[in-house]
């Protein structure tokens, strides 16, 4: 007998990047930071005591909310924390949108979890194609019949960013609609909309510790917005899990936030390598949109994305490939260390020759 519900049988789940263990790979497929987290993180881990693990953590992650608020220049009541930015995004769907309304709007090529979340919670969607340059078509999105938008900025998997001034003009033009700005990669761009949350009540900014803070294994993310929006997220959170941020994650993320200099230096290293690798890919004849993230979206005439992906994998280098229209012509390549990137470049030269 099949005990699965109709939803479980029919829904198409999100597919995460490969986490292979059959050999040692140069792993450039899941946009992890190639550098370790701050030494203060390791110090914080060493100070975790049994009492902290025996007790439940605070349901509101109060210590972390305060640290984020100080770093972002807002008040703690403007911050919500969750088990990764994916959970924060997931909770935002039922918090702000109904199944019988106009629903949400997002791009056709963007973070694919948006479509999964919308289907899971039964939220109608309006999908707007990217323009010919792979950039978000904000005018078309503005004209869409919807109650709100999910905008990954920089976008994934293209890496293209939209400047703060352009985004503010868009937000101001849709005052009755919610704009959820997914800024998972924003630290590699530097045009965050968090300052605008003080001005616009229809803006929610979602961030993560997984990328620039090198804490993907910790699973912690957060949102910044008006208190009314934060309250909505809390209402949904408390229907699912009272304690999504554990004591270890809270202590570690607070420690990471305290080391601004290390964070800035790490981001600068990634950005420098991103520009170097893009230059090498362009020399090889790849089409590579200018990225503002910690990855590159690269395709080459005469070589399918699948061929590049497969041959790199055979050579021990993992990149991301999607067998979907438009995307199948490209691979998404995470920026690694200089040594890892040199292996990538060397293998690509061999493949192309």
Hey, how many other C-beta atoms are within 10 angstroms of the C-beta on 161? 25
Give me the phi and psi of 36, to 5 degrees please.
-70, 160
CA–CA dist 28, 25 (Å, integer):
9
pLDDT at 22 > cutoff 90? no
Residue 175 pLDDT: 97
Q: Minimum mean pLDDT among 22-26, 44-48, 88-92, 180-184: which range?
A: 22-26
Instruction: State the average pLDDT over residues 329-340.
Output: 97
Classified as helix, coil or strand, 179 is: strand
Instruction: State the average pLDDT over residues 162-174.
Output: 98
pLDDT at 326 > cutoff 90? no
Residue 17 pLDDT: 83
pLDDT-derived band at 353 (thresholds 50, 70, 90) equals confident
Residue 312 pLDDT: 97
Classified as helix, coil or strand, 314 is: helix
CA–CA dist 151, 167 (Å, integer):
10
Q: What is the mean pLDDT of the chain?
A: 96
pLDDT at 182 > cutoff 90? yes
Contact 156, 184 (CB under 8 A): yes
pLDDT-derived band at 92 (thresholds 50, 70, 90) equals very high
Q: One fold for both 6-37+261-352 and 39-259?
A: no
User: HSE-up of 350 (CA within 13 Å, CB side)?
Assistant: 11
Domain coordinates in residue numbering, the chain: 6-37+261-352, 39-259
Residue 292 pLDDT: 98
Contact 102, 146 (CB under 8 A): yes
* CATH number 3.90.1150.10 is the correct assignment for the domain at 6-37+261-352: yes
Q: Dump pLDDT digits (tens) for 231-261.
A: 999 999 999 999 999 999 999 999 999 999 9
Instruction: State the average pLDDT over residues 128-138.
Output: 96
- Domain 39-259: CATH architecture, name and number where available: 3-Layer(aba) Sandwich (3.40)
Dihedral, CA of residue 85, residue 79, residue 226 and residue 89, to nearest 10: 10
Give me the phi and psi of 128, to 5 degrees please.
-115, 125
Q: Dump pLDDT digits (tens) for 273-324.
A: 999 999 999 999 999 999 999 999 999 878 899 999 999 999 999 999 999 9
pLDDT at 65 > cutoff 80? yes
pLDDT at 20 > cutoff 80? no
Residue 302 pLDDT: 83
> DSSP assignment, residue 212?
T
Residue 13 pLDDT: 87
Instruction: State the average pLDDT over residues 128-152.
Output: 96
Contact 180, 211 (CB under 8 A): no
């Amino acid at each position: 007998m099949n005990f699965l519900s109709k939803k479980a049988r029919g829904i198409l789940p999100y597919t995460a990047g490969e986490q292979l263990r059959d050999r040692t790979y140069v792993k450039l497929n899941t946009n992890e930071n190639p550098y370790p987290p701050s030494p203060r993180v390791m110090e914080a881990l060493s100070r975790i005591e049994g009492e902290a693990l025996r007790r439940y953590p605070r349901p509101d992650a109060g210590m972390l909310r305060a640290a984020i608020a100080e770093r972002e220049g807002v008040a703690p009541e403007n911050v919500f924390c969750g088990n990764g930015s994916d959970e924060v995004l997931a909770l935002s769907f039922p918090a702000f949108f109904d199944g019988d309304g106009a629903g949400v709007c997002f791009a056709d090529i963007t973070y694919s979890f948006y479509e999964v979340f919308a289907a899971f919670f039964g939220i109608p969607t309006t999908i707007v194609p990217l323009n010919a340059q792979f950039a978000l078509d904000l005018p078309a999105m503005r004209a869409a019949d919807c109650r709100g938008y999910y905008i990954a900025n920089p976008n994934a998997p293209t890496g293209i960013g939209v400047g703060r001034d352009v985004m503010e003009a868009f937000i101001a033009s849709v005052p009755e609609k919610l704009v959820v700005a997914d800024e998972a990669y924003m630290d590699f761009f530097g045009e965050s909309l968090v300052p605008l949350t003080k001005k616009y009540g229809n803006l929610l900014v979602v961030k993560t510790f997984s990328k620039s803070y090198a804490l993907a294994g910790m699973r912690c993310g957060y949102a910044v917005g008006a208190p009314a929006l934060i309250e909505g997220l809390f209402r949904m959170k408390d229907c699912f899990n009272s304690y999504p941020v554990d004591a270890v994650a809270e202590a570690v993320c607070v420690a990471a936030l305290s080391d601004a200099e290390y964070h800035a230096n790490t981001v600068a290293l990634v950005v420098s390598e991103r520009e170097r690798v893009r230059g090498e890919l362009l020399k090889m004849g790849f089409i590579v949109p200018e990225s503002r993230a910690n990855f590159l979206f690269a395709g080459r005439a005469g070589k399918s994305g699948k061929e590049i992906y497969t041959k790199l994998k055979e050579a021990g280098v993992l990149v991301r490939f999607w067998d979907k229209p438009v995307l199948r012509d490209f691979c998404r390549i995470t920026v690694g260390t200089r040594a890892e990137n040199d292996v990538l470049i060397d293998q690509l030269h061999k493949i192309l020759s």
